[in-house]
């Protein structure tokens, strides 16, 4: 068990420290794939539902319009990673210099 835990944490550390690995792009790709897969599953279930009333048909239209209005361009994960990569020195104020006191 010790070797398994050590291997896991060494792999995590390697992935976190490798500069060639573009985490923001891979996270964006994974989230876009998950969103598309979820949309396909939900739209398939909506299309498979048989409706005989006007309320059911209206609900299907609303759900379909909601699925079509989702935009994969808005990705908060990429924005958070970009904000985390900016240096803090530009956003942190510098303290005022000390006043010299005459003795």
DSSP labels for 14-66? Answer: HHHH-TT--HHHHHHHHHHHHHHHHHHHHHHHHHH----SHHHHHHHHHHHHH
Which H or E element spans position 8? helix 2-17
**What's this model's pTM, rounded to 2 decimal places?**
0.45
pLDDT band at 3 (very low <50, low <70, confident <90, very high): confident
Q: Report pLDDT digits (tens) over 9-33.
A: 998 888 777 766 677 777 778 888 8
* Among the listed residues 28, 30, 37, 23, the one whose alpha carbon sits nearest the alpha carbon of residue 77: 28
Residue 25 is predicted with a pLDDT of 76
Q: Report pLDDT digits (tens) over 35-87.
A: 888 888 888 888 888 888 888 888 888 888 887 776 555 556 556 666 655 55
* Among the listed residues 69, 77, 68, 70, the one whose alpha carbon sits nearest the alpha carbon of residue 29: 77
């Amino acid at each position: 068990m010790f070797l398994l835990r050590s291997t896991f944490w060494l792999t995590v550390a390697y992935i976190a420290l490798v500069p060639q690995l573009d985490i923001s792009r891979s996270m964006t790709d994974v989230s876009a794939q998950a969103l598309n897969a979820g949309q396909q599953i939900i739209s398939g279930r909506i299309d498979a539902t048989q409706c005989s009333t006007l309320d059911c048909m209206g609900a299907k239209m609303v759900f379909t319009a909601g699925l079509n209005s989702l935009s994969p361009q808005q990705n908060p994960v990429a924005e958070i990673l970009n904000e985390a990569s900016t240096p803090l020195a530009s956003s942190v104020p510098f303290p005022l210099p000390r006043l010299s006191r005459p003795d």
